[in-house]
Amino acid sequence: MKNRQPYNLDRVMIVYNIIQIICCTYLFYEGVIFWTAKYKLFCEPIDYSETKEALHTLKLIYFYYILKILDLADTVFFVLRKKFNQVSFLHVYHHTGMVMMVWGAGTYLPGGHGSSVGLINSFVHVIMYSYYLLTVAAPSMKNSVTLKKFVTQIQILQFLLLVLHVGSIVFIPDCAYPRWVTAIFLPQNLFMLILFVDFYIKNYIKKPKQSAQVKKIEEECSEIKHNLKKNGSATHFVESKHDYHSELILRNNKTSEIFNKSR
């Protein structure tokens, strides 16, 4: 793989993203029906019966679990396209964690209060895979910082809502949903919230400042070079040109140090 050219998977990814959008839209639609017509907003108990509604809920959870396994294809696409920088700890932890969490929930806690995870996550994934589809169909959109920030902000909002919703059962007396669940799912969602906030700060707050610093240094050095050419003698210009390059290297090194410390 090291010496191979990256695979062009544009057509495959277009089909994949469309499938994800359709599946996530379906799950979100079904989830909205349950949560608006049949579920309470807080402390909805788990229905372990074999009624038609309970079995339908179980089928939806199983379908959601299959979809979380399908999400792992994202990592495969990154590797085949040699986008190794996108196979980050956040990416791997999030996708593997979701598979394990949904398996546990579907096996021991099918439905009830905790199903809000599937509802909110499906909505977020409709937006996320629509963005991915857009960047494949229109490659120029990959450079849109506004869209990238928006998708990350939606992810942050997702985990903030889940932290609040999962954590709420601790403070509600006589909650019919198992309280011990918060010991597992609350730290998980809180950790994901922290990871996404950290990603957002590093990529959309600190990086623009660093880019502005580099641009300022380049402009200053360009001005120095222009003035030397205009006013200096030939000998002085050669010496000053050496000083100019030294100054540029020094400043770039300082900027690199600042950038590395912030990572």
CA 252 to CA 184: how far, in whole Å? 46
Contact 190, 163 (CB under 8 A): yes
Q: What is the DSSP letter of 199?
A: H
CA terminus-to-terminus distance, the chain: 28
b/e string for 14-29 if b means 16 or more Cβ within 10 A? eebbeebbebbbebbe
Of 59, 64, 48, 46, the residue nearest 181 (C-alpha): 46
Q: In terms of C-beta density within 10 A (0-12 exposed, 13-18 middle, 19 or more buried), how is residue 162 classed?
A: buried
Q: What is the 3-state secondary structure (H, E, C) of 3-59?
A: CCCCCCCHHHHHHHHHHHHHHHHHHHHHHHHHHHHHCCCCCCCCCCCCCHHHHHHHH
Of 56, 50, 65, 52, the residue nearest 31 (C-alpha): 56
Contact 110, 62 (CB under 8 A): no
Q: Which residues are catalytic?
A: 94
SS3 183: helix
